[in-house]
Amino acid sequence: SQTIHQWPATLVQPVGSPLSLECTVEGTSNPNLYWYRQAAGRGLQLLFYSVGIGQISSEVPQNLSASRPQDRQFILSSKKLLLSDSGFYLCAWSGQGGAYEQYFGPGTRLTVT
């Protein structure tokens, strides 16, 4: 069966510091991968998606970036965090082609102070 991991689970970082969040998927090959952000009490905002290694598309302009160095690894980064970057970051995967279901990782709760 497929499993999706995210780490760290929680993170407190000062404004201006760098960020690296990691997501890995097990039990599937060539998944579509997604990064979402959820502000407190709000909905889900798609940040990035990837259909393959090195292929990243951004949905919203921001000071975040994403990379996919391996088939089942997705990384979210920032060079300098802003207060507004605080939130619950969720990685998700779906299959290719006609497999529509999207499954979420456990999330990383980021607080920028």
Partner 1 sequence: GENVEQHPSTLSVQEGDSAVIKCTYSDSASNYFPWYKQELGKRPQLIIDIRSNVGEKKDQRIAVTLNKTAKHFSLHITETQPEDSAVYFCAATTSGGYQKVTFGTGTKLQVIP
- According to the binding rule CB under 8 A, does residue 53 interact with partner 1? no
Kindly indicate which of the ranges 17-25, 40-48, 60-68, 73-81 contains the residues binding partner 1, using the contact rule CB under 8 A.
40-48
- According to the binding rule CB under 8 A, does residue 40 interact with partner 1? no
d(CA 113, CA 96): 39
55 has which bridge partners? 52
Nearest Cα residue to 37 out of 111, 107, 112: 107
- Closest to partner 1 by CB, 54 vs 100, is 100
Taking CB under 8 A as the criterion, which residues in 66-105 touch partner 1? 90, 94, 98, 100-105
d(CA 50, CA 41): 26
d(CA 27, CA 57): 24
- According to the binding rule CB under 8 A, does residue 46 interact with partner 1? yes
Residues that bind partner 1 in the complex, under the rule CB under 8 A: 32, 34, 42-44, 46, 49, 51, 90, 94, 98, 100-107, 109
